[in-house]
Amino acid sequence: MIKISHECPTSLMKDSRIFNDYDYALVHLFEQSASYYYFFKESLSKGREVILDNSIFELGEAFNTGEYLRWIRELQPTWVIAPDVLEDGYKTVENAKDFKKQLKDWCPDSKLIGVAQGSNFGEFIMCYKQLIDVVKVDMVAIPFDFSWFKELFPAPSKRFQQMGGRMRLLQILNDQMKENPIPHHLLGCSLPQEFLYYSEHYPWIYSLDTSNPVVTGIKGIEYSVGGERTKPEQKLHELISFVPNQREYSRILNNIRSFRSIVNPGQVQEWESESSSLWNSLFGEKYSSEQFERTQNL
């Protein structure tokens, strides 16, 4: 089973412990909201896994390293993503080397995630191998949005290039994979149908994070049976204070259920059973699959 976490507005974070397998934190939001920080502190006290992200996707560059280490020491997260540089494999490897040394002093119990970067396929492979063999990270992460995916997987639209590009990349990595590979994390997604193939064929994928079902739900989009063709441009951190009404929340939860059925199809029934209290509180009656279908027409 691939562990899933969906970043969501603060208004939904308490409920997110029901629909998320672990919790995914964006460090730059710690400075904006004390309640956001304490949510993850509480999650750790409850024995939940927390991945702390350096917020490069949101900011365009990794969060200040000194401040990042200060927050790491305060939070003591399960996993920490090393500061990377977008599409620069060489600087990313150097950053990871330096950061690993500092992390040992500041938070020795946190495990290190290195993001494989590169301006092209060859540079990505160099970075990927260096992170595993030289830096010796505990987990390696793969982004969804490399610009060179358009060469790796030519397609009519950028979203399909991103989806197909990472699918092709993971296939190549799988063909070259050594025995007993380290865990992998998938950063974000372009289109949800990308994940149909992974759970059964790539047991080395440990986890993924994406706000896609949440943001699409907020924007009035409900996942279709055949998958999506577009993705909203707005990022979740820009919607962190959003408070959905019942119809919007219903759409978000429907998208989350659909996403889980794509990623881990054999786990949906078990997850629905565990989530029944959430559906009950939202709709005022005990949840069932038939009732779930009716919420699509709210």
What was the pLDDT predicted at 172? 95
From first to last of the 298 residues of the chain, give the pLDDT tens digit.
999 999 999 999 999 999 999 999 999 999 999 999 999 999 999 999 999 999 999 999 999 999 999 999 999 999 999 999 999 999 999 999 999 999 999 999 999 999 999 999 999 999 999 999 999 999 999 999 999 999 999 999 999 999 999 999 999 999 988 777 899 999 999 999 999 989 889 999 999 999 999 999 999 999 987 677 778 889 999 999 999 999 999 999 999 999 999 999 876 556 555 556 665 655 444 334 444 443 333 3
Secondary structure (DSSP) of the chain: --EEE----GGGHHHHHHH-SSEEEEGGGGGT-HHHHHHHHHHHHTT--EEEE--HHHHSSPPPHHHHHHHHHHH--SEEEPP--TT-HHHHHHHHHHHHHHHHHH-TTSEEEEE---SSHHHHHHHHHHIIIII--SEEEE-S--TTHHHHS--SSHHHHHHHHHHHHHHHHHHHPPSSPPPEEEE--S-GGGGGTHHHH-TTEEEEE--HHHHHHHTT----TT--S---SS-GGGGTT----HHHHHHHHHHHHHHHHHH-GGGHHHHHHHTHHHHHHHHSS---HHHHHHHTT-
What was the pLDDT predicted at 287? 39
What was the pLDDT predicted at 233? 85
What was the pLDDT predicted at 285? 45
What was the pLDDT predicted at 199? 87
What was the pLDDT predicted at 231? 84
Domains and CATH numbers, the chain: 3-295 (3.20.20.105)
